């Protein structure tokens, strides 16, 4: 790795975030063309597809984290990293205000970072729809510390339920695990939790066997809307076999420390309010726009009508700005907010930045050759300059011809418990929809191969082997 100080001859490219989008960009970016600065409150990449396996200990947290330093160490020129949160993106002054929001702060913990080019890949936050009590009482499943908190909370509920003199009613409440949101996050986590109970908790803590109970709540008539009808039915039937209570057409309206208020739509269309006591509440109702993104959008007139995130053009340039791109969950495109989309967008932006640098280099060379052509007196000199000019101009045409971003959907996969998974996978020109044990093996091998590094792959594999051999750990962290 060469060069530590920024090179004044190069443009400064600031990348916000270390998630699927930003890291895919970093991986393929020729960093020697820019002064690259990465800013993110976490100094690692997180392989989110296996996050629902972490709170129960099927996979350990560190197995799905890849330190950013491992990623940037392989780059030809050094990449600067600041562990901080971007609190303001000022597109007119062309600076990002950053804040060290970690527990330990030095004398300087807020500053500005100027940029020539900026890529916004800050992801999204958890949607709560302003439902009272959710922020205060629910656990989420988005970041690694959410999972750590959840793991502690599940075991805490279990131990408190077994406290001397606890009434049966209170025991039932504490052991009621309610998952809200029947999207893939909610379904996968509910399934993992039920597996944990069936495989390990029941065996090691038999006193909870009659009271431990998982409920999955979904406002719509079905779970997993992105899957085909057959797979939705298969999933719902599997959840039923697993004894997970599935409550569809149930919209949570209010949450307090011990109860959930939900509006249920009966088959005849009438609505009623029900109170559900709970011990642990997991909130997985999708994405909302981060405050830093909302603030950025509010200052750009072209962004006024965009609700789900930053509006971008087909090259991912932020509408109403120049030299600022957005990708992944913080942007609003026609695609679903998934890791697949974010990582393809990241790879696309890497190609775009690599091409921009090549274009600049070729344009300088062509300018120099044009000057030479004017100065050349001898015929053979003129001829050789014109030949080089021809080939450089052709190369420039090729480099400049970058097609807009196009997404290739590789399919959807989800774990549904009892060693079963569902998959809607594109294969050649058709789609394969499957569910069951074989699909589960496919799910495991697909996720293993998608892991960030060989190191992650081996760690995840060892975790799975460990759980098969000894079961999951039932101690409280």
Q: Residue 370: enclosing H or E segment and its boundaries?
A: helix 339-375
Judged by CB, which is closer to ligand NAD: 221, or 437?
A: 221
Choose from ligand FAD, ligand NAD, none: what does 19 bind? Cβ within 5-8 Å by kind.
ligand FAD
Inter-residue contact 414 to 224 (CB < 8 Å):
yes
Spatial distance between the Cα atoms of 334 and 316, rounded to a whole number of angstroms: 12
* Alpha helix segments (H runs only) across 12-143: 20-28, 68-73, 134-137
Interface residue with ligand NAD among 6, 67, 277, 286 (CB under 6 A) is: 286
Interface residue with ligand NAD among 161, 179, 252, 292 (CB under 6 A) is: 252
The nearest distance, CB 244 to ligand FAD, in angstroms, is: 17
Q: Under the criterion CB under 6 A, does residue 121 sit at the interface with ligand FAD?
A: yes
Q: Under the criterion CB under 6 A, does residue 460 sit at the interface with ligand FAD?
A: no
From 34-42, 130-138, 317-325, 434-442, span contacting ligand FAD (CB under 6 A): 34-42
Q: Under the criterion CB under 6 A, does residue 21 sit at the interface with ligand NAD?
A: no
Interface residue with ligand NAD among 337, 346, 417, 435 (CB under 6 A) is: 337
Residues 6+ apart with CB under 8 A from 412: 184, 226, 227, 423, 424, 425
From 63-71, 101-109, 153-161, 283-291, span contacting ligand NAD (CB under 6 A): 283-291
Judged by CB, which is closer to ligand FAD: 49, or 57?
A: 49
Q: Under the criterion CB under 6 A, does residue 413 sit at the interface with ligand NAD?
A: yes
Judged by CB, which is closer to ligand NAD: 12, or 340?
A: 340
Helix/strand/coil for 94: coil
Q: Under the criterion CB under 6 A, does residue 22 sit at the interface with ligand FAD?
A: yes
Phi, psi at 126, each rounded to 5°: -75, 135
Helix/strand/coil for 327: coil
The nearest distance, CB 332 to ligand FAD, in angstroms, is: 12
Interface residue with ligand FAD among 38, 51, 281, 288 (CB under 6 A) is: 51
Using CA atoms, how far residue 47 sits from 40, 64, 142, 332, 456, in Å, is 16, 5, 11, 22, 9
**Contacts (CB under 6 A) with ligand FAD, residues 180-209:** 185
Choose from ligand FAD, ligand NAD, none: what does 142 bind? Cβ within 5-8 Å by kind.
ligand FAD
**Contacts (CB under 6 A) with ligand NAD, residues 103-142:** 131
For 380-443, the three-class secondary structure string (H helix, E strand, C coil) is HHHHHHHHHHHHHHHHHHHHHCCCCCCCCCCEEEEEEECCEEEEEEEECCEEEEEEEHHHHHHH
Bridge partners of residue 431, in order along the sequence: 426
Q: Under the criterion CB under 6 A, does residue 53 sit at the interface with ligand FAD?
A: no
Choose from ligand FAD, ligand NAD, none: what does 181 bind? Cβ within 5-8 Å by kind.
ligand NAD
Phi, psi at 250, each rounded to 5°: -125, 115
> Which token pair is 79?
């990449």
Bridge partners of residue 440, in order along the sequence: none
- CA dihedral for 137, 138, 143, 148, sign (positive or negative): positive
Using CA atoms, how far residue 140 sits from 27, 181, 414, in Å, is 29, 11, 19
Judged by CB, which is closer to ligand FAD: 303, or 338?
A: 338
Judged by CB, which is closer to ligand NAD: 246, or 252?
A: 252
Using CA atoms, how far residue 433 sits from 54, 232, 234, 409, 467, in Å, is 27, 11, 11, 14, 29
Spatial distance between the Cα atoms of 178 and 281, rounded to a whole number of angstroms: 5
From 120-128, 172-180, 272-280, 367-375, span contacting ligand FAD (CB under 6 A): 120-128
Residues in contact with ligand NAD, shown as a per-residue x/- string from 49 to 88 under the rule CB under 6 A: x---------------------------------------
Residues 6+ apart with CB under 8 A from 469: none
Residues that bind ligand NAD (CB under 6 A): 49, 131, 180-186, 188, 217-220, 226, 251-252, 284-287, 336-338, 412-414
Residues that bind ligand FAD (CB under 6 A): 16-22, 39-42, 48-49, 51-52, 85-86, 121-123, 141-142, 185, 290, 292, 328-330, 337-340, 342
């Amino acid at each position: 790795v060469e060069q530590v100080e920024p090179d004044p001859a190069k443009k400064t490219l600031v990348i916000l975030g270390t998630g699927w989008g930003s890291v895919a960009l970093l991986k393929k970016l020729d960093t020697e063309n820019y002064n690259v600065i990465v800013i993110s409150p976490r100094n690692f990449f997180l392989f989110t597809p296996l996050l629902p396996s972490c709170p129960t200990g099927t996979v350990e947290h560190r197995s799905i984290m890849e330190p950013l330093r491992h990623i940037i160490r392989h780059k030809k020129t050094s990449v600067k990293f600041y562990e901080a949160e971007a609190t303001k993106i000022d597109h007119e002054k062309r600076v990002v205000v950053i804040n060290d929001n970690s527990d330990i702060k030095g004398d300087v913990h807020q500053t500005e970072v100027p940029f020539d080019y900026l890529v916004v890949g800050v992801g999204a936050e958890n949607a709560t729809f302003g439902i009272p009590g959710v922020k205060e009482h629910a656990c989420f499943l988005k970041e690694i510390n959410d999972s750590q908190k959840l793991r502690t909370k599940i075991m805490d509920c279990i131990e408190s339920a077994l406290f001397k003199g606890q009434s049966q009613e209170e025991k039932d409440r504490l052991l009621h695990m309610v998952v809200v949101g029947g999207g893939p996050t909610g379904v996968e986590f509910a399934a993992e939790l039920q597996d944990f109970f069936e495989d390990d908790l029941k065996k090691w803590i038999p006193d909870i066997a009659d009271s431990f109970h998982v409920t999955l709540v979904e406002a719509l008539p079905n779970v997993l809307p992105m899957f085909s009808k057959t797979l939705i039915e298969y999933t719902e039937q599997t959840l039923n076999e697993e004894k997970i209570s599935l409550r569809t057409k149930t919209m949570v309206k209010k949450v307090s420390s011990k109860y959930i208020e939900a509006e249920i739509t009966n088959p005849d269309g009438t609505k009623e309010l029900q109170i559900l006591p709970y011990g642990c509440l997991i909130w997985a109702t999708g994405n909302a726009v981060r405050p830093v993104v909302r603030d950025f959008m509010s200052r750009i007139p072209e962004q006024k009508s965009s609700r789900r995130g930053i509006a971008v053009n087909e090259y991912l340039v932020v509408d109403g700005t120049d030299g600022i791109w957005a990708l992944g969950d913080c942007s609003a495109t026609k695609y679903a907010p998934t890791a697949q989309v974010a990582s393809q967008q990241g790879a696309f932006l890497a190609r775009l930045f690599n091409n921009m640098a090549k274009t600049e280099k070729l344009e300088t060379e062509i300018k120099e050759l044009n000057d030479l052509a004017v100065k050349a007196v001898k015929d053979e000199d003129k001829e050789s300059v014109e030949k080089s000019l021809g080939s450089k101009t052709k190369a420039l045409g090729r480099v400049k011809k970058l097609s807009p971003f196009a997404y290739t959907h590789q399919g959807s996969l989800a774990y549904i418990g009892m060693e079963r998974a569902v998959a809607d996978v594109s294969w050649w020109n058709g789609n394969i929809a499957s569910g069951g044990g074989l699909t589960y093996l496919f799910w495991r091998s697909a996720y293993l191969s998608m892991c960030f590094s060989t190191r992650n792959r081996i760690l995840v594999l060892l975790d799975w082997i460990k759980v098969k051999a000894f079961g999951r750990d039932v101690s409280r962290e």
